[in-house]
Amino acid sequence: MRYLITHGMIIDPSQRVATIGHVLIENGKVARMYEMTDRLPDADQDLVIIDAHGCLITPGFTDLHVHLREPGEEHKETIATGTHAAARGGFTTICAMPNTRPAYDTPAVVRQVRQMARDASAVQVEVIGAATAGRQGRTLSEMANLVEAGCIAFSDDGSPISDPAVMRNALAYSRMLDVPIMSHCEDTRLNAGWAMHEGAVSMRLGLPGYPAAAEEVQIARDIHLAAMTGGHLHVCHVSTAGGVELIRHARQRGIRVTAEVSPHHLTLTDRWVLGTLDSPPSAAQGSLTQRLDQYSHVYAAGMQSMRQSADLPLPAWFNPTLLPPFDPSTRVSPPLRTEADVEALIAGLADGTLDAIATDHAPHALVDKQCEYGLAACGISGLETALGLVLTLVHRGALDMLNAIACLTEGPARVLKRTPSSLRIGTQADLVIIDPDQQWIVDVNQFVSKGKNSPLHGQRLKGRVMLTMVSGQIVYQEPGFGMTPRVTPVASRLEGILNTDDDDA
C-alpha cells in the first residue's frame, strides 16, 4: 500500500525542517516529499490519499519510560493494550520498564517479551533490563547477556538503588556496553511513608511529604558517581527545580548525564491534590455585614488557595477544581510538585538541560486507586494524554513547536544513542499526524489502555493525534480522519504556532 499525505505542515526536527507540503510513503519508507507547487503523482487504486490540511506531520514519537505490566500484572495492562495506547498517543517506539513479575532480568524473559511484542504490538517495543538481579539493588544483572538478548538500557525503576556502591558498579560496568543506566532518583529514607509532595498543600492536608530534597540528594549522588565512573547516567522523571539545576551544572562540566521529564510534571502541581472544597454558602443569604462575618478567616484562607490555583500560569482549560480533595488519581511517584518546579522543568526543556519528554505511563486497576490516598498505587496512565499536555505548553507559549516535537523524537533517540526517527527520504516511515488545534475532553473510559487512572478526566486539552504510522502501516487513525477533504485554510490555523524565527529552521 502507498500513502500520499497531503497539505500538512511537515515538522522534522532531525532535518530542522518546518514546511507545508505532501509526503509519499512507499514500501514502508518515506519515498518522497513534495512542495505545494510540485505535481503530485497520478492517482491509482493502490494509492491512498490522506488529507492532512491544518495538521502537522512529524516523525513518530519515542517514549523512554512505559510500564507495560506484562508479564505478571495483566489486569493492569498488557503488551497489546499498552502498545495500542502508545499508537493512539503518537508513539511509534516505546521502552518498557522492567518492574514486572518476573522482572526483565534474564535473557530468557527479555527474549520472550520481545517475541510477545512482535506478535501483539502495534508499535516498536524496546526492553529496558533490570539493573540488578530481581531489582533487589544488590547484585548486578547479567548486563552483557541482557544486551545480547536485546536490552537497550538498564533500570531498577520504582525501586531506587539505595546502595551507592551498587550504583557505582552499574555505571562502571555498563560503560563497556555503551548503554545508559536509567535512575529513578529517590532517597527512600527521606520520604518514608510519603503520600504527596512536601509543601504547603501537604502541610494543610496532613499528608506525609516527599520533599524535593529526597530526589535531589540522589540525583547529586548519581551525578558524582557518573563523573567518577564515566558511565552514562539517565535521570528518570525529574520533578524538581533543584534536580534540573544539578543536571544543568553537571552537563556544563561535561559529565555524561541525560534526563527526561513527564508531561504531568510539566503541567500539574500539588494543588491538584487539594482539589476543591464544597461549594461556598450562597451569597444570597443574609446582609452584607453578616456575609463578611461568615466569610471570616476560614473561608478567606480557603478562597485564597483557590485563587492561587486560578493564578497558575496555566491555560484556562486546566482546572484542578474538577477533582475532590485527596483524589488518588493525583498520586504519582515522584509526586506532583509546585508551580516553581513546573516553571523550572519547562525552562530545562527549553534550554536543552532535559533531553526528552517521557510519559512514565503507569496503568493501574480501579481497585488499586479507589482507596485511602496514602495506600493508592502511584502512577498516571499517560500515553494517550501526553501530546495534548505538551501541545498545551506550546499553545501557552512556554515551548516552541519544533522544540516540543524534538523532545518527543530526537531527544529520546539521543539518550539511546540512536538515529532519531525522521522524515528523511529513504527512512522507515514512522510518523504521526497531529491536529494541533483540536480541542477535546479527556474521558478515561475511552482510553485504549487498561489503566483509566488519570487526574485529567474531564479536562479540555488542545492538540490531538489523528493518525500514527509504523513502517508505513497505519497503526492508529481517528475515525474518518483524512479520508474526506479537510477545508480549513492552512495558513491561518498554523499562524503563531510555529516559531518561524528559529535560526536553524
Partner 1 sequence: MTLPEPIRPTRRHVLDLDDFTRHEIETLLDTAVGMKEILSREIAQVPTLRGVSVVNMFYEDSTRTRISFELAAKALSANVVNFAARGSSVEKGESLLDTMRTLQALGADILVLRHSYAGTAHLLAQHFRGAIINAGDGSHAHPTQALLDLFTLRDKLGTLERRHIVIVGDILHSRVARSNLWGLTAMGAHVTLCAPPTLLGNEQFWLDTWPDLRIVYSLDAALQDADAVIVLRLQRERQEAGLLPSLREYAQFFALSQARLQAALTGMLVLHPGPLNEGVEIAPDVAVSAQSVIEEQVTNGVAVRMALLYHLALHLRQKGA
Active-site residue, from 105, 341, 360, 435: 360
- Told to check if 278 binds partner 1 by CB under 8 A, we report yes
Q: What are 435's strand-pairing partners?
A: 464
Tell the residue number behind the cell numbers 539493588, with chain if given. 137
Residue type, 188: T
**Near partner 1 by CB under 8 A: residue from 43, 108, 176, 203:** 203
- Which of residues 330 and 449 has its CB atom nearest to partner 1 in the complex? 330
29-35 vs 17-26, strand pairing mode: antiparallel
Candidates 60-68, 96-104, 200-208, 420-428: pick the segment binding partner 1 (CB under 8 A). 200-208
Largest CA distance in the chain: 78
**Cell representation of residue 234:** 539517565
- Told to check if 492 binds partner 1 by CB under 8 A, we report no
Pairwise CA distance, residues 174 & 172, whole Å: 6
In the residue annotation, 360 being an active-site residue is answered as yes
Contacts of residue 319, Cβ cutoff 8 Å, sequence gap at least 6: 459
Shortest Å distance, C-beta 327 to partner 1: 9
**Near partner 1 by CB under 8 A: residue from 150, 306, 325, 493:** 325
- Told to check if 188 binds partner 1 by CB under 8 A, we report no
The interface mask with partner 1, positions 230-269, x = CB under 8 A, is ----------------------------------------
**Quick one: CA torsion of 127, 130, 133, 134, rounded to 10 degrees?**
-90
For residue 443, give the nearest of 428, 461, 421, 417 by alpha carbon.
461
- Told to check if 200 binds partner 1 by CB under 8 A, we report yes
Phi, psi of 10, deg, nearest 5: -85, 120
Shortest Å distance, C-beta 317 to partner 1: 24
**Near partner 1 by CB under 8 A: residue from 204, 340, 352, 485:** 204
Pairwise CA distance, residues 155 & 131, whole Å: 5
- Told to check if 458 binds partner 1 by CB under 8 A, we report no
- Told to check if 101 binds partner 1 by CB under 8 A, we report no
Size of the site for partner 1 (CB under 8 A): 41
**Near partner 1 by CB under 8 A: residue from 72, 230, 324, 458:** 324
**Near partner 1 by CB under 8 A: residue from 47, 120, 227, 277:** 277
**Cell representation of residue 338:** 509546585
| Cα 281 to Cα 89, 204, 292, 340, distances in angstroms | 42, 22, 12, 32
Residues in touch with partner 1 (CB under 8 A):
195, 198-200, 202-209, 277-281, 285-286, 290, 293-299, 301-302, 305, 324-326, 328, 367, 370-375
The catalytic residue positions are 360
